């Protein structure tokens, strides 16, 4: 029996350890949380594992986490003391890490395994909402230094067979990430870039869409939206793994963090279900 082909996702993952701060944040993340909770419904069949490409891990070569019980990495600053004690004890899956390593090697992409690396908040903040029981085996895969969009599109293409093997590929970043221009000051650049992103991903010509995404720096307000593109590059991986399939907007708001436009997307899967939940 073969597994159904799973969609891929690019998600805007929010800031720091926000799922553990519901009292302090007073509903500011309600719409994002609702969208993340819908993801298992959009996926349909229960995945065997998640492969997470987080904006918060870069390495000289693409690197797959091979720890069977990954520890926590508290890679954020200025949050309450208790947020440095939280735990999201999802199991790792070394066999998936090995499979990823093999796929990349077959595609001529240099890669390595890391048996020590733990989960960063680009993984556990959204996953605590998507799979709150922390029972979904998860492997993180790094970005590569240099942040070349073409290399990350190629990475996604190499990972595409995993979708037929029950592995859910999630790129975790943020569609707008300029920490110096947040709130009302970021309203105009985030809206301009987000509108371009939604229009570009809606293009049904796969080659034209990939070419436009690779040239993202030419988009309106591109470098205002992403002074450094690590939070955008997970999108390239998710797109590359479903390059010839339609995109669906599965989350959008234009008042995030006091005025920002941010979005999340699904590639492949049930477009009707995505329309009903967006």
At 155-174, the pLDDT tens digits run 999 999 999 999 999 999 99
Which residue in this structure is represented by tokens 């790792």?
A: 92
Query: Average of pLDDT values for 113-125?
Result: 98
Token digits of residue 133: 């029981």
**Residue 274: what pLDDT?**
61
Query: Average of pLDDT values for 68-90?
Result: 96
Q: Which of 158, 155, 138, 139 is nearest to 147 (CA)?
A: 155
Write down the domain spans for the chain.
8-267
d(CA 60, CA 6) in angstroms, rounded, equals 29
Question: C-alpha dihedral over 173, 175, 180, 182, to 10 degrees?
Answer: -120
Strand partners, 267: 8, 247
Query: Average of pLDDT values for 4-26?
Result: 93
Nearest 5°: phi and psi at 266?
A: -115, 140
Which residue in this structure is represented by tokens 């709150």?
A: 132
Cβ(226)–Cβ(173) below 8 Å: no
Quote the distance between the C-alpha of residue 217 and its chain's center: 19
**Residue 41: what pLDDT?**
97
d(CA 49, CA 64) in angstroms, rounded, equals 14
Domain spanning 8-267, CATH class: alpha beta
Whole-model pTM: value is 0.95
Q: Where are the beta strands (DSSP E) in 149-188?
A: 167-173
- Radius of gyration of the chain from Cα atoms? 17
Query: Average of pLDDT values for 146-154?
Result: 98
Cβ(178)–Cβ(256) below 8 Å: no
pLDDT digits 0-9 by tens, 175-220: 999 988 888 889 999 999 999 999 999 999 999 999 999 999 999 9
- With vertex at residue 129, the alpha carbon angle to CA 231 and CA 78, rounded to the nearest 5 degrees, is 55
pLDDT digits 0-9 by tens, 224-266: 999 999 999 999 999 999 999 999 999 999 999 889 999 999 9
């Amino acid at each position: 029996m073969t597994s159904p082909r799973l969609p891929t996702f690019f998600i805007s993952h929010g800031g720091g350890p926000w799922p553990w701060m519901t009292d302090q944040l007073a509903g500011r993340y309600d719409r994002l949380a609702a969208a993340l909770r819908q993801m298992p419904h959009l996926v349909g069949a229960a995945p065997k594992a998640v492969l997470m490409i987080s904006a918060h891990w870069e390495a000289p070569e693409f690197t797959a986490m091979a720890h069977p019980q990954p520890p926590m990495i508290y890679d954020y600053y200025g949050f309450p003391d208790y947020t440095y004690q939280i735990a999201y004890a999802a199991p790792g899956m070394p066999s998936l890490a090995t499979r990823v390593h093999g796929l990349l090697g077959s595609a001529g992409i240099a890669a390595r395994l890391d048996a020590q690396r733990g989960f960063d908040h680009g993984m556990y903040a959204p996953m605590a909402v998507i799979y709150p029981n922390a029972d979904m085996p998860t492997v993180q895969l790094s970005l590569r230094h240099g942040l070349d969009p073409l290399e990350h599109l190629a990475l996604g293409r190499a990972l595409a067979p995993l979708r037929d093997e029950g592995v859910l590929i999630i790129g975790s970043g943020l569609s707008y990430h300029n920490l110096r221009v947040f709130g009302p000051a970021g309203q105009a650049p985030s809206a301009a870039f987000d509108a371009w992103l939604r229009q570009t991903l809606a293009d049904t010509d796969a080659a034209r869409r990939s070419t436009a995404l690779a040239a993202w720096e030419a988009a309106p307000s591109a470098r205002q939206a992403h002074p450094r593109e690590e939070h955008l590059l997970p999108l390239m991986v998710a797109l590359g793994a479903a390059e010839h399939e339609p995109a669906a907007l599965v989350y959008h708001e234009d008042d995030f963090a006091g005025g920002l436009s941010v979005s999340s997307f699904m590639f492949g899967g049930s477009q009707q279900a995505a329309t009903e939940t967006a």
